[in-house]
Copies of this chain bind each other. A is one copy, B any other.
Amino acid sequence: MAAAAPVSPLAPKSFAKLPPVEGVRLAAGAAGIRYKGRTDVLLAVFDKGATVAGVFTTSKCPSAPVDWCRENLQRGRARALVVNSGNANAFTGQAGREAAELTAKLAARAVGADEEEIFLASTGVIGEPLDATKFEGVLDKLAAKAKPDGWLDAACAIMTTDTFPKVATATAMIDGVAVTINGMAKGAGMIAPNMATMLSYVFTDAAISAEALQKLLSKAVKGTFNSVTVDSDTSTSDTLMLFATGAAEGRGQKKAKKAGGKSLRDFAEKLESVLLDLAQQVARDGEGARKFIEVRVTGAENDKAAKKIAFSIANSPLVKTAAAGEDANWGRVVMAVGKAGEKADRDLLSVWFGDVRVAHHGRRDPDYEEAAASAVMKQDKIVIRADLGLAKGAATVWTCDLTKEYVAINGDYRS
């Protein structure tokens, strides 16, 4: 089991200290779903309720909890969140729907809420039936002991092949009132763009309507979670949710009903910074990752084309293995630009590794020195830049390298 793998060398040197978010209590426990000797279930309780927003996998085969959340999200109101690791409750048919219902029922009873106010997520193996009776009793205990702190413990409970917990925090000002934004995420594998990747939960005490919250989240996800890839594989369970308890109303914050206004400008910015921090941590903890890679594309026909080209580079197994081998193999970057299907002119294209321009206007840069490019490749973080020379389209995405450890972890995940 890969949970015992050594911590990624790209892990942050220390974890952010997350302050309490007024209106949120947390507890982590062990339900014995799959893992032994570790926590595998997280309960977040919103005693006075919270508005809620979410974005989910674009998979046509979504998990039962994703179906459940999509349904309940229409009401925009949350009282608790239950996340388990070790079993994805995906592709589990009618039994899966029943397992989700039972989990929600147990959680609703534990916190004294309606089932429609419970949000769920499951992460782990696909296709194995989830025995939700294991939550019986466990959720009651967690509801009783849940506290405003313990964010790192909570982030640990939702890990699968992650090698470190992922948390981030920021303070934002709304109408002169300071509000907190705390977030956590899990990632590692089956991580790909074009949806709300992975599991990530963000909590704030700000008072914001569900409608405004959804707009803020949908906008912030584009340049953050939707700009990250580990292996181009889109999970059945990807979920990003944002809960706002509204407790800041008690400190004078007027409830924000619309997303576009000036009062939420700082909040939107800080929300995006928290999501970006979490998304980059997910890439840094990609399965087997030894290099954190930032791909910047400029000069493309438009931003959408730039993003497609950036992902073509970031998802190329040949670019990723070259990074793993510390090989400044820019020919593969050219290949990935060429295969993206977007407008490109070979003779206008330039490529950089870090600050070293290795290719210029359709050929090797005459001033390029292999030693300088190799030095860039030896760093933990590698910036690959491609300029198309066509127009002003730009995009930046993040990924990690493809190593033998990725193959080892994924050749042996179920056993």
> Which A residues are closer than 8 A to B by beta carbons?
57-62, 88, 90-96, 125-129, 189-190, 192, 231-236, 315-318, 321-322, 324-327, 329-332, 334-347, 349, 359, 361-364, 402-404, 406-415
A338 in contact with B403 given A127-B331, A316-B233, A324-B411 (CB within 8 Å): no
Distance between Cα atoms of A343 and B60 in the complex (Å): 7
A331 in contact with B126 given A406-B317, A407-B407 (CB within 8 Å): yes
A327 near B363 with CB under 8 A, answer: no
Distance between Cα atoms of A194 and B170 in the complex (Å): 46
Chain A binding surface SS class: loop
Point out the residue from B236, B330, B338, B343 that lies within 8 Å of A335, measured CB to CB: B236
Residues of B within 8 A of A326 (CB): 411
Distance between Cα atoms of A57 and B341 in the complex (Å): 11
Which residue of chain B has its CB nearest to the CB of A324? B411
B318 near A189 with CB under 8 A, answer: yes
A236 near B60 with CB under 8 A, answer: no
B318 near A95 with CB under 8 A, answer: no
Nearest CB on B from A38, distance (A): 22
Point out the residue from B88, B192, B337, B402 that lies within 8 Å of A60, measured CB to CB: B337
Which residue of chain B has its CB nearest to the CB of A317? B231
A362 near B91 with CB under 8 A, answer: yes
Residues of B within 8 A of A346 (CB): 60-62, 91
Residues of B within 8 A of A403 (CB): 407
Distance between Cα atoms of A345 and B329 in the complex (Å): 41
B60 near A344 with CB under 8 A, answer: yes
Nearest CB on B from A142, distance (A): 28
Distance between Cα atoms of A236 and B322 in the complex (Å): 17
Point out the residue from B321, B342, B364 that lies within 8 Å of A406, measured CB to CB: B321
Residues of B within 8 A of A233 (CB): 316-318, 332, 335-336, 339
A94 near B363 with CB under 8 A, answer: yes
Point out the residue from B90, B95, B332 that lies within 8 Å of A331, measured CB to CB: B90
Show 25 residue pairs from A and B whose CB-CB distance is below 8 angstroms, ordered by the A residue. Answer: A58-B341, A59-B339, A60-B342, A60-B344, A62-B338, A62-B346, A88-B331, A90-B334, A92-B363, A126-B332, A126-B334, A126-B335, A127-B330, A127-B334, A127-B363, A129-B364, A192-B339, A231-B318, A233-B318, A233-B339, A234-B335, A317-B406, A327-B411, A327-B412, A402-B407
Distance between Cα atoms of A189 and B318 in the complex (Å): 8
Distance between Cα atoms of A363 and B63 in the complex (Å): 11
Which residue of chain B has its CB nearest to the CB of A231? B317
